[in-house]
Amino acid sequence: MSNRILVFYGSYRSDRMGIRLAQFLVEGFRARGDDVELIDAKAIGLPMLDRMYKEHPKGAAPSVLEELAAKIRDADGFVFVSGEYNWGMQPGLKNLTDHFLEEWFWRPAAIASYSAGRFSGARAAIAWHGTLSEMGMVVISSSIAVGPIAQTLSEDSKPTGEGGKALAHAFPRFADDLVWWMEAARAQRERKKPPY
């Protein structure tokens, strides 16, 4: 059985560099045989949160929310690719995640961060860890941190230089960790209904 993974990316900038990391991860999981889809917050273009998906009458939510809710519910796990803005998380990705809640429950999440500098988005990753846990996900211990991103991944998302070597070396463990937790969570959900 192939694992269904959603890779979420949240930059709205015109010259987005983090898309390189998102594509690298999508390609990496696909090469392992997983069923992976990139969810680009900018492409989806949700409005600033006014009403969560669950706050719409059943069947009356905008179609973009219905479609995304179904994808989240059907996924085995998630990867959040986040840049760091002023020591914090990207607002576009945070806004997308906040439209949902119960849809995230009982599945694992992984965090891949990046920045133009040497801190590799680590502070954003720390912020995401608590947020994703609060939203009902188990956040795996393995993480990926890339920086400077322009020197680590080429425009076509291929690893370059010493940073690229380190990323290529880190990915298998990151992927194995996420897949282990996805399989464990799926087996548990099949064995026993979640308590809420």
pTM score of the predicted model: 0.96
Q: How far apart are the C-alpha atoms of 3 and 75, rounded to whole Å? A: 8
Provide Rg for the chain, Cα atoms: 16
> Residue 2: its pLDDT value, please?
87
Write down the H helix ranges in the chain: 19-31, 41-44, 63-74, 91-98, 122-134, 161-191
Give the whole-angstrom CA distance, residue 2 versus residue 13: 33
Q: Is residue 139 a contact partner of residue 107, using CB atoms and an 8 Å limit?
A: no
What confidence score (pLDDT) does residue 179 get? 97
Query: 191: which 2 tokens?
Result: 């064995």
Contact between residue 44 and residue 11 where contact means Cβ atoms under 8 Å apart: no
Q: Treating both helix axes as pointing N-terminal to C-terminal, what angle do 19-31 and 161-191 enclose, rounded to 10 degrees?
A: 60
pLDDT at 18: 96
Query: How many CB atoms within 10 Å of residue 136?
Result: 17
> Splitting the chain (196 residues) into consecutive groups of 10 residues, what average pLDDT does each group show?
93 95 98 98 96 96 97 98 91 97 97 93 95 97 96 97 96 98 96 91
- Domains of the chain, CATH where assigned: 4-191 (3.40.50.360)
Contact yes or no for 147/165 (Cβ under 8 A): no
Report the alpha-carbon distance of residue 79 to residue 29 in Å, rounded. 11
Strand partners of residue 139: 109
